[in-house]
Structure 1
C-alpha cells in the first residue's frame, strides 16, 4: 500500500466518524421546528395561560398593543377619527352613530376597551355587538344560542372579564391547536353557500378564522341575530341585490335625516373584498400576508402580530415577490393613493346627492316618483362608496373592484342628483 492510498483511507475514516456523529445526533435530537402541543382546558380564554405553552406566538401576539401609523398613511392602529381624512363621513352618516365616532381600528387586544369607549354604543345597543370582540362568544353561544344577541349590551359585557379580548381561543381549538371558527354567523352563512366549515382544509381555515369577523353583516330585526349577507355572492352588487329583497325583514340600518333615504352601513367587508381579488382567487390566505412565518432559536412559527404586511415586507411579501421592498412599498402606496383619490371624490358626490334630494323634498308639488328614485340612487351610491371606505386595505385587497366600486358610487350619485332635479323641476345643484 503506497502513501497515497494510506492517506485516502485515513481521510475516509475521518469522514465516516464525522458523518456517523451527525447522523446519530439527527436521530436522537428533536427537530427544533417541532412545537409540542399542549392540551389547554376547554373554556380557558386567558391568552396569558396559552402563552405559557406557546411563548413565541404569545410574545408576538402582545405586540398587537403597539399603536402606530400605517407606512402608507392609510389605516394604521392609532385611534384617530376617519373623518379627519374624509370629512364627508360626517354628512353621509348623518343620523347614524358613525357620524359621531368612527375611529381607526386598533389591535385585537383593544377590542373590549374600544367598544366600551366608543360613542356608537348606547343603552339600546344589543348584546350582538359583542359577537366579534371576544372568545367568550363560544361560552355565550353554548349557554344561550343566539339568545345573548337580544340582551342589553351592558348586561352581556358585564360577563366578560378584562382578559376577554380577541385572542387565541377565537381561532384555535384548545385541545389540539387546530384552527376553528366560533362565530355562528360565519358558520351559518357558509352553510347556506354549501360549505361545511368543520371539513375545511387547513389552508382555507387560515382565511376563515379571519373572515369570521372581518366581514359585512346586519342584525336580524327583533332577534338581533348576526347575519352575513352572502347568499347571492360577495361582490358589492351581489350584496346590494340581497338587501333589496329585504332579507328576514331587514330594510335599513337607519334613515338619513336630510335625504330621508333608507341607508345601509357597510361593516369592514375585508373577507368579501379579498376573496374576489387577485390574492384571494390565487389561494393566498389572509395569514400568509398578515401572519407570516418567522424563526427564533431554530423554531418556525406564525407571527401572531396581526398587522399590515408593509411592516414586515420581506417575510410577508418577499416569499412570492422578489422585486425588493422598495418596489413592493411603491406598488401598495400607488394603489392606495389612486383608490383614495377616486373614493374621496365619490364620497363628496354622495354628500351633494343628499343635499340635492333634501332641497327637492322641500319644494311644493315635487314629483314623488322621481324623488323616490333619487333616494334609491343615493342609497346605492353610498353603499358602493362605503363598501370601499369601510374596508381595511384602501383598495389593495382588490384594486380593480375597489376602483370600479368607487367610480360607480360617483355615477350613482350623479344620477341621484339628476333625479332630484327632475323631481323638483329645476336644477338644484
Structure 2
C-alpha cells in the first residue's frame, strides 16, 4: 500500500512539473506586452497628459509630482531656484553681452520646467526683433513635443517663434518624453538626439535597456546649439562628444553664440552637458552604472517595486542610491564633498584667469595699435578657455559625474586663458597686462 501511495505522489509531482513547464513556456513565448501586467487603461501614442498614464503607473506619477515642491539644496546645487549671478558674480562678467548675464538661475525639479522657461528674463518675445526667442527653446520643456515633432517635423517646429509655439504647449515634461506608450520601453523622442546618433553611425534601437537608462536622459541633458536661421536644434557630436571634439566642430562650422563686448571675441555658451560629461570615461560609466541607477533608484510601496521619478541629487537619499553598491554611504558622501570642493575651488580660479584674459584683450583692443594676428589668437584662446570652463560650470554635478575629466578640463581652460592674456600683452608690448587677480581690482571712478 505504501509503495502504491508513493507511486501516486510521484505521478502527481511529474504531472505538476509538466504543467508548470508548459505554463512557463507559454508565458515566455507571449509578446512582451502580454507577459506584463495588463494596463487598466490604454494610453494613446505620445499622450502628453501624464495624469492619464498615472492610472496605470500611480507610484511613478506620484513620485514625479514630488519634483514640483522638492526644493532641498546640497552644498553646491540642489533643487531651489537660486541665482548663479548672485552666488558667483564673476559670471556677470563672463557672460557680458549675453542674456545669461541678466538671468541665470539653477534648475528646479522636472515638473517646474515649463513654468521656469516662460518666466526667465532671457526671453526676447518681440517677434519683430531678428534675435527673438525661437520655439526651439521649448524643446526640453514639454511632453507635448513628441506629438508636435511627429505631426509637423522638427524643422517647422524650430522655425516658429517662442510666442507662436506657446498655444501648442500645455503640458510640462512628462511620461511621453521618455516612454513609448503601450510597451513603456525607454525611447529616444528628441529628433536632435536621433539625428546625432545617426551621424555617428549608431542605432539607438539596438542599445540595451541598461544603456537606455542613460541615453533617455540625453534627450535633454546634453550640449546643443541652434543651427542656422531656422534655429534647428543640433547636437555638436559629429567629431565626438569630448570638449575638444565639440570645440573642433564649432570651429569648423564657424558657429558663435554671441560676440563679447569690447574684445570682439566670438563666444560659445555651454548648456547642460551631463551626458557628454558622464560618458567621457567616468568611473561609474565604465562600471556600467546608468543615470537612473543613482537619480531614480528603485524603491518599494508595499510589495510593489518601482523606479522613483522624484529625480534629485543622490546625496539626499544616499542609502537608496549609493547604498545599492557602496556599503559605507557616509564614506561615499565624504568623498563626494572632497571632490566637489576641489572642483568648485578650481572652477573659481579658472574664472579669475579668464577675467584676467578678458581685461588684457580689452586693453589691447582699446590701445588701437595691437598686432592683429596676436590679438586674434588671444581671442581664439579666450573663446576656447571660457567654453571649457563652461562645460564644467554648466554641468550639474560640480564635477562629480567625472572628477578627473572636470579637473583636467579646468586646467586646460586656465592654461588657455593665461596664454590669451600673454598674447594680448605681447600684441601691444605692455607687460602690465600680465597682472593677475584683476577681478578684485576696484575700477577707477
Tell me what 1:52 maps to: 55
Deviation at 1:197, TM superposition (A): 1.5
* 1:143 match: 151
- The Cα offsets for residues 264-305 of structure 1, whole Å up to 9 and x where unpaired, read as 000100000001111112221110111000111111110011
Note the residue ranges of structure 1 that are not aligned, 5 or more in a row: 1-19, 28-33
Cα pair distance change 1:67/1:351, threshold 3 Å: farther
The Cα shift of 1:35 comes to 4.8
Correspondent of 1:290 among 281, 289, 295: 295
What is the distance in 2 between the residues matched to 1:281 and 1:211?
17
Superposition TM-score, scaled by structure 2 size: 0.86
Q: d(CA) in 1 for partners of 2:37 and 2:242?
A: 39
Q: Which residue of 2 aligns with 1:116?
A: 118
Q: TM-score of the superposition, structure 1-length normalised?
A: 0.89
Answering whether residue 420 of structure 2 is matched by residue 420 of structure 1, we say: no
Q: Deviations over 1:90-147 (max 9, x none)?
A: 0010011011111000111111100100011112111111111112111221222121
Q: What corresponds to 2:243 in structure 1?
A: 236
Q: Take 1:77 and 1:313, find their aligned partners in 2: how far apart are those partners? A: 16
- Of 390, 405, 410, the residue aligned with 2:414 is 410
Corresponding residue for residue 386 of structure 2: 382
Q: What corresponds to 1:90 in structure 2? A: 92
Structure 1 SS opposite 2:333: helix
Q: What is the match of residue 140 of structure 2?
A: 132
1:157 to 2:166 alignment: yes
Alignment counterpart, residue 192 of structure 2, candidates 164, 170, 185:
185
1:359 aligns with 2:363: yes
Residue deviations 1:378-403, cap 9 Å, x none? 11110110010000000000000001
Q: What secondary structure sits across from 1:186 in the alignment? A: helix
- Give the secondary-structure state (helix, strand or coil) at the position aligned to 1:327: helix
SS at match of 1:226: strand
Contact 1:173–1:179 at 8 Å: present in 2 too? yes
The answer on whether the counterparts of 1:70 and 1:77 sit within 8 Å (CA) in structure 2 is yes
- Tell me the CA shift for residue 46 of structure 1: 1.2
Whole-angstrom CA distance in 1 between matches of 2:106 and 2:165: 24
Distance 1:104 1:259 in 2: 28
**Is the contact made by 1:343 and 1:407 (CA closer than 8 Å) also made in structure 2?**
no
Q: Which residue of 2 aligns with 1:6?
A: none
Between the aligned partners of 1:50 and 1:384, the Cα distance in structure 2 is 40
How many corresponding residue pairs? 399
CA contact (8 A) 1:95 1:256 kept: yes
**In structure 1, how many angstroms separate the alpha carbons of the residues matched to 2:238 and 2:169?**
32
Q: State whether structure 2 residue 225 is matched by structure 1 residue 222.
A: no
**Structure 1 residue 335 corresponds to structure 2 residue 344:** no
* Cα distance between partner residues in 1 of 2:419 and 2:326: 42
Question: Deviation string for 1:222-262 (max 9, x for gaps)?
Answer: 1211110111111111111111101xxx5200000032100
Q: What is residue 313 of structure 2 aligned with on the other side?
A: 308
User: Does the residue aligned with 2:417 lie in a helix, a strand or coil?
Assistant: helix
Any idea what SS the aligned residue of 2:115 has? Answer: helix
Q: Please give the alpha-carbon distance, in whole angstroms, between the structure 2 residues aligned to 1:384 and 1:35.
A: 48
| Cα offset, 1:68, TM superposition | 2.3
Partner of 2:31: none
Distance of 1:341 and 1:353 partners within structure 2: 19
Within 2, Cα distance between the matches of 1:78 and 1:108?
Answer: 12
Cα distance between partner residues in 2 of 1:345 and 1:69:
27
Q: Find 1:70's aligned residue among 68, 73, 86.
A: 73
Residue 36 (structure 1) shift:
4.0
**Structure 2 CA distance for aligned equivalents of residues 362 and 222 of structure 1:** 32
The structural deviation recorded for 1:200 is 2.0
Tell me how far apart the structure 1 counterparts of residues 368 and 223 of structure 2 sit (CA, whole Å).
Answer: 39
